[in-house]
Amino acid sequence: MTKIIVVTSGKGGVGKTTTSASFAVGLANRGFKTAVIDFDIGLRNLDLIMGCERRVVYDFVNVIRGEANLNQALIRDKHNKELYILPASQTRDKDALTLEGVGTVLDELRKTFDYIVCDSPAGIERGAQLAMYYADSAIVVTNPEVSSVRDSDRMLGLLSSKTKRAEEGNGKITEHLLLTRYSPKRVSKGEMLSLEDVNEILAIPLLGVIPESPAVLKASNSGVPVIVDSESDAGQAYADAVARYLGEEVPLRFLEEKSNWLKRIFSFKEKEVV
């Protein structure tokens, strides 16, 4: 049975598109046929991170308006035959998406795909609500800062009341927390919220913690989702999050300062010498 996942947050710039791209790649790498859709009409960044911007001919809005069929608009990933991208339009406004049109496209995708990842725009405007409306589960992306967590808390309210499941009384969609740009060093200095602080405020199951890492920017600029960089801490953290989503028990990593371990080792050696 096809599962629709919305990647959402209340605040912009927290890493939703990075998460959508990496999560879709992670699912496809596990052998699941996966489609990832860019709902951010007018901006369109998913195709850049996926490295397929030059291959866009038709987009999500073209399909909804009947100007192209779904097969014409879907872009097959160059590296994984199980992964397809449906880009957003850069030239239309956000009202180009309709509830019925989105539903029709998702129904068509359900016939073929195991997972559909919806990359939501930030905030609570129409595009974000359409991205979450048909979802079965949500990945709520937040940074460890007060404004980001507060906005994510507001999104949880919408997820519990503004989805098709909620309207039809079929229960809440499954909610998962993904904490991005986490820096143990800055947490220890009191410059950002701790994992415990965020968990206490949002109180939804933790899917993963993505460390603050230069690998994320490098990957975005290269047009390759960071999960592909299996040597990077961020890439490994995203792979862990996908594993947890699929029900595997994977311990959390990257929650402590790396320098702490070095200090302990050198401190121990100094004591031995003395």
Q: For 187-202, how does the pLDDT look when each residue is reduced to its tens digit (9 = 90+)?
A: 999 999 999 999 999 9
Report whether pLDDT(4) > 60.
yes
The average pLDDT across 5-25 equals 95
Supply the pLDDT for residue 249.
Answer: 96
Nearest to 91 by CA among 56, 123, 128: 56
Supply the pLDDT for residue 132.
Answer: 96
Position 274 confidence tier, pLDDT thresholds 50, 70, 90: very low
Strands of 83-86's sheet in order across: 75-76, 83-86, 34-38, 115-119, 3-8, 137-142, 174-182, 206-211
pTM of the model: 0.92
Report whether pLDDT(257) > 60.
yes
Q: What is the pLDDT of residues 79-109, one digit of tens each?
A: 999 999 999 988 777 678 999 999 999 999 9
Nearest to 140 by CA among 129, 126, 150, 155: 155
Between 57-66, 122-131, 132-141, 256-265, the lowest mean confidence (pLDDT) is in: 256-265
Between these two residues, 27 and 93, which has the higher pLDDT value? 27
Supply the pLDDT for residue 263.
Answer: 53
How far, in Å, CA of 18 to CA of 126, rounded?
A: 21
Average pLDDT of the chain is: 92
Residue type, 3: K
Supply the pLDDT for residue 67.
Answer: 95
- Phi, psi (degrees; rounded to nearest 5) at 146: -60, -45
Supply the pLDDT for residue 112.
Answer: 96
Report whether pLDDT(205) > 50.
yes
The average pLDDT across 46-63 equals 95
Supply the pLDDT for residue 219.
Answer: 94
